[in-house]
Amino acid sequence: MSKLVIVAAASAGLLALVPATASAAKQCRDFAAVGSGLNKSIAGFMALQGAVNVAENRGWTVQGDAKLVSCKSAGIFGTECTARSRACKGH
């Protein structure tokens, strides 16, 4: 019978932790960056790396890979690309 009381007390203790864990949920958001270069390859690389750098430099942890959103001709700058990364902060 004493084992049952210990198991019940341990279970109650775990249930008491659930609200505290739920309130410490991760906060996530998107970060965007624009890169330019002579061609799509260079501009895309600059944009992708920029989207990661912006998040990490602000203390966020990037989740997965950055995604290239779009690229367009930028006149004398060659090509301009936009990329986004998803990053989270919290426990």
Task: Give the domain ranges of the chain.
Answer: 27-89
Q: How far is CA 28 from CA 31, 39, 85, in A?
A: 10, 32, 10
91: pLDDT confidence band, cut at 50, 70 and 90? low
Residue type, 77: F
d(CA 75, CA 61): 34
pLDDT for the residue numbered 24: 55
How many beta carbons lie within 10 A of that of residue 86, not counting itself? 17
90: pLDDT confidence band, cut at 50, 70 and 90? confident
The overall average pLDDT reported for the chain is 79
